[in-house]
């Protein structure tokens, strides 16, 4: 019985974190309906619990994939929308296009929500490697920047 309660608590905490990222405009790319996760070139990492606690996080979800020209434009547009309401923004642009963005997109009950976006090949029109990372936890933006070396 205790094991069932523990598993239920873990499931609910991960579900709540996942719902936080879905409220982002770019959150649709973390969903299963995009088909991106099924591509052979995609790397998706989801971590919660003790593995990310040492970084001051409760939840970490990253998605790295080779994007089509349409996806590059779409993700960039959605990141711009999320940045419009974010705090503590740090951006790097090249030719008007976002290369790297880090920001705090919300706070609920002392848990901060962060978004990190990186376009590794901003000049590429098709096949550029994009990384989108959503993180939640009590860690400050400064602490995360230190760990991420950003």
This prediction has a pTM of 0.82
118 compared with 127, residue with greater pLDDT: 118
Q: What percent of the chain has pLDDT over 70?
A: 83
Q: What is the mean pLDDT of residues 28-52?
A: 84
Q: What is the mean pLDDT of residues 136-142?
A: 94
**Cα-based distances in Å from 85 to 7, 25, 38, 80, 130:** 35, 11, 31, 9, 22
For residue 14, name the pLDDT band (cuts at 50, 70, 90): very low
Distance CA 98, CA 26 (A): 14
- Sorted by where each begins, the domain ranges of the chain are 2-148
């Amino acid at each position: 019985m205790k094991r069932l309660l523990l598993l239920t608590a873990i499931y609910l905490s991960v579900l709540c974190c996942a719902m936080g990222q879905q409220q982002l405009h770019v959150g649709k790319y973390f969903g299963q309906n995009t088909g991106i996760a099924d591509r052979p070139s995609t790397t998706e990492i989801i971590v919660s619990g003790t593995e990310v606690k040492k970084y001051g996080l409760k939840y970490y979800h990253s998605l790295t994939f080779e994007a089509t020209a349409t996806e590059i434009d779409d993700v960039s547009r959605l990141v711009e929308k999320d940045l419009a309401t974010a705090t503590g923004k740090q951006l790097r642009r090249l030719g008007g296009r976002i290369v790297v963005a880090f920001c705090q997109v919300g706070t609920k009950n002392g848990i901060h929500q962060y978004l990190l976006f990186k376009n590794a090949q901003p000049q590429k029109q098709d096949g550029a490697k994009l990384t989108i990372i959503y993180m939640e936890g009590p860690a400050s933006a400064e602490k995360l920047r230190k760990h991420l070396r950003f």
